Structures are given as structure tokens and as C-alpha cells.
Amino acid sequence: MNSLLRLWVVVDIAVIVLLLISIPLAGGLACLPLRKSGHIAIPVLATSAAVIALSVALLFEMHGRGVRVYMIESAEFGPTRWIIAMLDFALMFFFLYVGLRLRNRLVTAFAVLQIVPLAFLEATVFGTDIEPAVVIDYLAVVMALVINIVGSIICIYAIKYMEHDSAKPRFFAMMLLFLGGMNGAVFANDMLWLFFFWEVTTLCSYVLIGHERTPEAMESAVRALVYTLGGGVAMAFGLVLAYGSFGTLSLQDLLEGDAIGGIALLPFALMAIAAFTKSAQAPFQSWLLGAMVAPTPVSALLHSSTMVKLGVYLLIRLSPVFGTSDALSWAIAFVGAASFMGTAVLAVAEANSKRVLAYSTIGNLGLVTMCVGINTSLAISAAMILIIFHAVSKALLFMCVGVVKHETGTQEI
């Protein structure tokens, strides 16, 4: 009887996870052929309601059954492993195409430098499943609630804000895909899955930052692409080194392995660099400041529930490994402290309200990063509380700035 009950829970939670990833994708695709705001509102509202309900259901499912950590095998997801592998290569070749089309050497080089290690890893693990494919704990649940509740509210806010925009279909498709990509990243235990969803957020940020297609917007979008693809290169080579050192690409196995030290810490240091680029920590903060040219709903989404939150999520997830090295912990704490203090000073002299909020985001995420570097149980708890507080407050602040700009025509203080 107990085994049957456990099987029912596994299938039930697996369905929730799959829906949290696939429903935003389906909602985004449904937006593409639509042109009128009233029509686009239907899939946006439906998707938002669904992912909010599913994320809350996941919380109750975990809590109600007294489950603290839940593992789901890849067999529960059918051929998803191979679909993700094919989509990952398609995404990398798209980035290569963008680099060649823009004649940007860094984008082109970073795309190639991701394709090569990705091909090596896929060839190496071909025919084997990395188990468990998904691990859900309360960190993942908290992130899912932040992503889907705060992110959905921003998407609903954007319906009215973007009603006169001629490129609404693409805009909302990317906004909803962003939510699905974030959900996939926080649930993934298979590091190749995590890498794919990591780069899905890179794609969404590039398209959304450059949404207005002005020279300034495209320059900022390309800058964001360069920084985040560079972080992706660090992530890709970190995975190669991790597999070479530990023989696994299961995040849980990496975290629960034997004592790690010396050169074996290098893969995790590279993953930390990838996290710094995603969370716009010093010295990689300039892309987030440039991203303020994007429409206000994009800024709200980037800062509150997606993109920058993914970097600090990865740092918290890897914190057990960082705790084995005082040098690495101190380095992470120093990056966080420098990001916090530097942006606090720079924000004082800034007159543009969105840039003030951007400095604030970098600083707040610097505090989260510093907590990871301190790496006590209390500090990690503080980091999670800061993530929740920052998501809610920054979403509200950006939406307020959007209303003010809509009414006054300026975002200068």
C-alpha cells in the first residue's frame, strides 16, 4: 500500500513539474499568431493562472506528505532527454548564427566554445540516463513560487502596458518562455538539462532586451548576450571537468560526493563564474545596466523572478561544495561585498529611476552572494529570504516606474 502511495506521489509531482515547463511554452506559442491585445490576453491569463496554481499545488503536495526532497527518474518524462539534447544543439547553432549575422567575434567564439564541450558530453553519456533527472526540495519550491507568482503578475501587467506595441506576439511568447525556462532550470538535477534551460534564459533575455530594435536596444542586447554566453562557456567547461573528475553529471551526486578540495574545486569555481555573469555580479554588471533600455515589464521580469535570480540560485545550490574551501568561500563573499558596496555608491549619483533600481538589484544580489560565501545555515536562510523579498519589492517598484513613465513620459527622478 505504501509503495503504491509513493508511486502515485511520484507520478503526480512529475506531472506538475512537466506542466510547469510545458504550459508556458504552449502559452507562448499560442501568442505568436495573435495580433490584438484582447486576443493575446487569453493565453497570457490562462498560462499565468495555470502556473500559479501548479506552483502552489507543488508546495502543498510536498508539505502535505511530509516530503523534504523528492527525486524523479528520467523514465517519468519519456523521451524528454533526447528532445532537450536536440533543442540544446539547435539553440547553440542559433547563437552561432546570431554571431555570424552580427559579425560579432565574441558571440561567435562563445557559441563555438559551447558547442564543442556540449558535443563531447552528449557523446560521452550517450545511451545512459543521468539519474535522478529532477530533484525537488524546498529551495526549488521557493524558486518556483517566486518565478510563477511574481513572473505571472508581471506578464498580466504587461498586457495593458504593451497594448500599442506592434511586436506583442513575439514579446509575450518570450516572456512566457522565460517562465518555463526558469522552471526547468530550478528543477533540473541532470546538469545537461540545467545547461539547456540556463541558455534558454539567455535567449529570452537577448530577444526581450532588444525588443524595440533601436540601435541602443540592440547594442544592449548584444552586450547581454556576450556576457551571458561567456558565462555559458564557463558552465560548459565546468561540466566537462566535473564529469572528468567525478564521473557524473548528476548535481545531487556532485554535492553528496566525497570531500572535495584542490584542483577538484575548479569545475565549481567555473560554475560560480557562470552564476556571476547571470546575476550581474562584479565585474560583469554592465549588461544589466544596459538592459534598462528594454520595456519596463522586461526590466521587472529580469530583476525580480528570472535571469538574475538563476545565478544566485545556482550559488545556493552549490553552497555545500563551496563550504569545503575557505579560499573559494572568501572569494565568493568578496565578489558579493564588492557588488553591494560599489553599486550602493554609484546609485546615489544616478538620476534615471530604472538605473537606480538596476544598481539596487546588483547590490541586493551581492548580499545574497555574500551570504553564500559566509555559508552558514543562518546565512543560507538569509539568502533565501532576501531572494523572496527582492523579487516582490523589485517587481512592484519596476511596475510603479512603468506607470509613472506611461503617465509622464519620463523616468528621470
Burial 199-216 (b: 16+ CB within 10 A, else e): bbbbbbbbbbbbbeeeee
Instruction: Report the predicted TM-score, pTM, of the whole model to 2 decimal places.
Output: 0.93
Alpha carbon distance 276, 345 (integer Å) = 20
Burial of 394 (0-12, 13-18, 19+ CB in 10 A): buried
Give the tens place of pLDDT for each residue, 276-335.
999 999 999 999 988 888 898 999 999 888 889 999 999 999 999 998 888 999 999 999
Residues facing 155 on adjacent strands: none
Alpha carbon distance 135, 252 (integer Å) = 8
DSSP alpha helices (H): ranges in 65-190? 80-102, 105-124, 138-145, 151-161, 168-187
Average pLDDT, the chain: 90
55 in Cβ contact with 148 (< 8 Å): yes
Give the tens place of pLDDT for each residue, 359-411.
999 999 999 999 999 999 999 999 999 999 999 999 999 889 888 887 787 77
